[in-house]
Amino acid sequence: MRLTPAGLGRATLARQLLLERADLTVPDAVHRVGALQAQEPAAPYVALWNRVAAFRPADLDDAYATGAVVRASLLRITLHAVHRDDWAPFHRAMTHPLRGSRLNDRRFAPARLTPAEANGVRDALLAFVDRPRTQDEILAELTRLLDAERAPATWFALRTLAPLHHVPTGPPWSYSPRDRVYRAGASTAADEPPPGDDPAVVHLLRRYLAAFGPATERDFAQFTMLRKPWTGPAVETLRPELVEITGSDGGTLLDLPDAPRPPADTPAPPRLLGMWDSVLLAHADRSRVLPEALRGHAIRRNGDTLATVLVDGRVVGFWRATDDGIDAAVVEPLPDAAWRELAAEAALLVDLLADREPAVFRRYRRWWDRLPTAEVRRLADRHDAAE
């Protein structure tokens, strides 16, 4: 089988529930799409609104509160929301990059701990957070175990590499960027597993292909930050279950045999993707959804990934929410029908945000004035929605 660029994009959009909103519960939808980037608390809500029919923010609130969906440091060493059944194997699979990113960071040096000593402090910390604890409580406990000078550097490492769940702290989006609360998750290995055939990495690869395939090993590495000694054995272990598909450039892509690969001309309705939407970040070659000409504008050098406008399965521009409504900046001409569909989406988004955070992603608005030349239109007015 050979996939055109459009066919490759449709395959990924189908798995990401972006060809048609799905009639699924929130936990089931999170499981289907693999992982939702969550360092900005609002981002998983906007992501699910784009993917789930009749989505209600309260449904994600409830999933967080019951632990059906877990927010934790995982893929690419950033916060993600994942299904509870995926959290432990995902965390185990990510042990190497999570530990390396913190124990080898100069900010950890003032802790003056060897990796083995860090494991010991980690175990003591996990015993302490057997119930929800605030960051201040955790720092006080680390100060008691170590001292006031070493505690902050130790917490810098452990808050990322230890198996910790973030505990919901309240509205508008369940988590506050400032007031963080943690508790221990199911224990995973403290020591870094050696390179090789790790069942957790195989699980992560299978889940990755189900959510973002077809893809290459390099794509998988990009999404996870796992290195070749971990990705290579996982690919070889899973290979008997996989099919090989030829991409438009003649390269070989790997996929699960029964995963959806709809025709290239399958309609792809307009969507207003939130910041850090995983569909833009899951591949080394992001051109299946994000044109190369817009990549540097959509994904900034500091890692900010902007809210984008998707038309016919491709990013064509950007959007922002203000106190007055939703604006779009589109870099290529669109037919009137596409503008009308975007306006309908924006009206629904205004309703979603109204009781939570009308000007969502406000603190990233500085990028708006740095976008390429574009046609800017107001898609929806807030006062119209109120009426």
Domain total of the chain: 1
- Kindly state whether residue 272 falls inside one of the protein's structural domains: no
> What token pair was written down for 363?
């603190």
| CB distance 155 to 180 below 8 Å | no
Q: Sheet of 133-134: strands edge to edge?
A: 133-134, 181-184, 164-166
Sign of the CA dihedral 16, 18, 24, 30?
A: positive
- Kindly state whether residue 347 falls inside one of the protein's structural domains: yes
| CB distance 296 to 50 below 8 Å | no
- Kindly state whether residue 329 falls inside one of the protein's structural domains: yes
Q: Mean pLDDT lowest for which of 17-26, 55-64, 183-192, 348-357? A: 183-192
**Three-class HEC string of 121-165:** HHHHHHHHCCCCEEHHHHHHHHHHHCCCCCHHHHHHHHHHHCCEE
Q: Rounded distance, CA 246 to CA 249, Å?
A: 8
Neighbouring C-beta atoms of residue 363, cutoff 10 Å: 8
pLDDT band of 216, cuts 50, 70, 90: very high
| CB distance 12 to 289 below 8 Å | yes
Average pLDDT taken over every residue of the chain: 94
pLDDT of residue 61 exceeding 60, the answer is yes
Q: What's this model's pTM, rounded to 2 decimal places? A: 0.95
What was the pLDDT predicted at 250?
85
- Kindly state whether residue 334 falls inside one of the protein's structural domains: yes
> Mean of the pLDDT values across residues 81-109?
95
> Mean of the pLDDT values across residues 67-71?
97
- In the chain, DSSP finds a helix count (H) and a strand count (E) of 15, 13
Owning domain of residue 295: 290-386
Q: Are strands 181-184 and 133-134 parallel, antiparallel or unpaired?
A: antiparallel
**136-175: per-residue pLDDT in tens?**
999 999 999 999 999 999 999 999 999 999 999 999 999 9
- Kindly state whether residue 336 falls inside one of the protein's structural domains: yes
- Kindly state whether residue 367 falls inside one of the protein's structural domains: yes
CA angle 384, 386, 387 (to 5 degrees): 65
- Kindly state whether residue 130 falls inside one of the protein's structural domains: no
